[in-house]
Amino acid sequence: MKKLLVIAVLLITISISACKKSQEVSQSPADKSKFKVGLVFDVGGRGDKSFNDAAHNGLEKAKKEFGIEYEEIDPGDGADRESALRKLASNPEITMIFGVGFIFTEDITKMAIDFPKKKFACVDYSVNPQTKIPDNLVALEFKEEEGSFLVGVLAALTTKTNTIGFIGGMESSLIRKFEKGFTQGAKFINPDIKVLVTYVSVTGEGFKNPGKAEEIAISQYSKGADIIYHASGLSGIGLFKAAKENKKLAIGVDMDQYKEAEGFVLTSMIKIVDEVIYQTISDYRTGTFKNGIKSLGLKEKGVGFVYDNNNKALILPAHKDKLDEITKKIISGEIKVSAE
Instruction: Please write the tens of the pLDDT for every residue from 117-154.
Output: 999 999 999 988 888 999 999 999 999 999 999 999 99
pLDDT at 151: 98
Indicate the fold that domain 144-271+307-332 takes in CATH. Rossmann fold (3.40.50)
Question: Percent of the chain having pLDDT more than 90?
Answer: 81
pLDDT at 5: 41
CATH code of the domain occupying 34-142+273-296: 3.40.50.2300
Average pLDDT, the chain: 90
The residues, any chain, with a CB within 8 Å of residue 236's CB and separated by 6 or more, are 49, 50, 167, 210, 213, 230, 252, 253, 257, 260
- Residue 45 binned pLDDT confidence (cut-offs 50, 70, 90): confident
State how far Cα 208 lies from the chain centre.
17
Encode pLDDT of 268-298 as tens digits.
999 999 999 999 999 999 999 999 999 999 9
Encode pLDDT of 242-274 as tens digits.
999 999 999 999 999 999 999 999 999 999 999
Encode pLDDT of 106-118 as tens digits.
999 999 999 999 9
pLDDT at 43: 82
Q: For residue 31, is pLDDT > 60? A: no
Question: Span 324-340, mean pLDDT?
Answer: 96
Q: For residue 51, is pLDDT > 70? A: yes
Question: Span 172-198, mean pLDDT?
Answer: 97
What global pTM score does this model have? 0.83
Q: For residue 175, is pLDDT > 90? A: yes
Q: Say how many C-beta atoms besides its own lie within 10 A of residue 145's C-beta.
A: 25
Q: Domain spans of the chain?
A: 34-142+273-296, 144-271+307-332
pLDDT at 22: 37
Return phi, psi of residue 162, to 5°: 60, 25
pLDDT at 243: 98
Encode pLDDT of 76-90 as tens digits.
665 688 999 999 999
Examine domains 34-142+273-296 and 144-271+307-332 and report if their fold is the same.
yes
Q: For residue 330, is pLDDT > 90? A: yes
pLDDT at 81: 86
Return phi, psi of residue 320, to 5°: -65, -40
Which residue type sits at 239? L
Q: Are 276 and 255 in contact (CB under 8 A)?
A: no
H/E segment holding residue 69: strand 69-73
Which residue type sits at 4? L
- Which tops the pLDDT comparison, 155 or 51? 155
Structural Rg of the chain based on CA atoms: 24
CA-CA distance, 122 to 248, in Å (whole number)? 36
